[in-house]
Structure 1
């Protein structure tokens, strides 16, 4: 089990974590600007040329698929720009974090056979903007890891509020992994732990090879 530091740690440690994360974010933003964005522009241009070459009727399956690809690339470009200018995801503007997470995952994995079961009480959305961002990011990352790395066929996202905490759990039926031997190039768990710590939340990850994975986020309701 990987467990984040306790939510009752002194505020100074959280501030330090925030500074470290922001430094990492600045570095990542540079990589996005220099490496990722040019590829997204190239992909967008290639999709445009492909659509012109195929010249299929607008209501044909091929044309619709190309339009979907173009929309995904446009969304990726918008998110990349947002990361370069702000920590607040554009998907959260004007909506609840749980709805935004559900919509984002639907766009990413809507064509897959994976079932994502959402069981969230309304009060888990009654949080501040920083907490909403963390909940959104961690749920997205946990579900994405379950599908891409865990090869899960079913994922449950459960959120309840009790005893002064919002508790959000992501559980899957995937192949699991050794929590003590995560490859150094996999930053998903590191980013989830860092995001949880920055708001004074507690993150637990339970898994083992051949078993399911459970990611549990506990956020103090007063944050």
Structure 2
């Protein structure tokens, strides 16, 4: 495929094919060829390639909006409800049953407030926006809900010396978030590690558990959200790798090169 100039003097994409021509006795005559304008096909392919990224960007914008509304609207209303219940309970002197009912309602309201805050953080990773990827991954580990007592740790290898593009940060964060959710729900492990590796060429995030594992070749991509993770990495030119076998735990590795880092790395 070669860029060419058409009669309209605009840059176009053309596809050239040619074969050598010769006489019956083998003397070379020249080439027979064709030139096809494939500009429109190329533009259509480029648009198709952009669709997944546009969809993911739209999804992130919607997640951010919903997370903001959960925090600013619904969360504050439940807080007000909890305060109202508390004031009501103070007026229940002498009525132990109603006082106990109010206390129970206040506990439920507090649990809802906690759940709303957790969902808002999952939908809208404020730490990622304000402090960057390492802090966001560390916060993700620290705030992971694990009622079974699963230990979730974060380790960083290498230091960030350049700003990570937002599209890279959010992709790696979402992969870590989904892989962590899968490990907590399905692995049966007692420990999960999230490791961030940084070097002069790019980043890699590894999510490792020592649980039951699974046969990768027999697993559908939709069941564990693997297709969504792979698509996120593909959209930033990265790679998603799943290493697992029954009884051997799971390691999810999301890696991406950032070519513009290397020339200015100090």
TM-score by length of 2: 0.57
TM alignment of 1:62-81, pairs within 5 A: 66-76=109-119
Confirm or deny that 1:213 pairs with 2:250. Answer: yes
Alpha-carbon distance between aligned partners in 1 of 2:108 and 2:230, rounded to the nearest angstrom: 36
TM alignment of 1:13-162, pairs within 5 A: 16-20=48-52, 22-23=54-55, 52=85, 54-56=101-103, 66-76=109-119, 89-109=125-145, 111-121=147-157, 123=159, 126=162, 127-162=164-199
The root-mean-square deviation of aligned C-alpha atoms, in Å, is: 4.0
Specify the alignment match of 1:189 in structure 2.
226
Larger Rg belongs to: 2
Specify the alignment match of 1:5 in structure 2.
none
Alpha-carbon distance between aligned partners in 2 of 1:196 and 1:206, rounded to the nearest angstrom: 16
Whichever structure has more strand as a proportion of its residues is 2
In the comparison of the two structures, how many residue pairs are matched? 192
> Residues 146-197 of structure 1, C-alpha deviation per residue, up to 9 Å, x if partnerless?
1111122111112222362322211110111222233465251111101111
Alpha-carbon distance between aligned partners in 2 of 1:202 and 1:185, rounded to the nearest angstrom: 18
Specify the alignment match of 1:180 in structure 2.
217
Specify the alignment match of 2:40 in structure 1.
none
Stretch of structure 1 that moved more, 207-216 or 95-104: 95-104
Structure 2 unaligned blocks of 5 or more: 1-43, 86-99, 261-266
Alpha-carbon distance between aligned partners in 2 of 1:77 and 1:104, rounded to the nearest angstrom: 13
Q: Secondary structure at the match of 2:188?
A: coil
> Residues 117-154 of structure 1, C-alpha deviation per residue, up to 9 Å, x if partnerless?
21113535841111111111111111111111112211
Alpha-carbon distance between aligned partners in 2 of 1:213 and 1:145, rounded to the nearest angstrom: 10
RCO comparison, higher one (Cα < 8 Å, 6+):
1
Q: Secondary structure at the match of 1:56?
A: helix
Alpha-carbon distance between aligned partners in 1 of 2:57 and 2:166, rounded to the nearest angstrom: 18
Q: Secondary structure at the match of 1:149?
A: helix
> Do the aligned partners of residues 215 and 17 (structure 1) sit closer, same or farther apart at CA in structure 2, a change above 3 Å counting?
farther
Q: Secondary structure at the match of 1:193?
A: helix
> Do the aligned partners of residues 63 and 137 (structure 1) sit closer, same or farther apart at CA in structure 2, a change above 3 Å counting?
same
Asked if the contact 1:79/1:90 (under 8 Å) is kept, the reply is no
TM-score by length of 1: 0.66
Confirm or deny that 1:171 pairs with 2:201. Answer: no
Q: Secondary structure at the match of 2:217?
A: coil
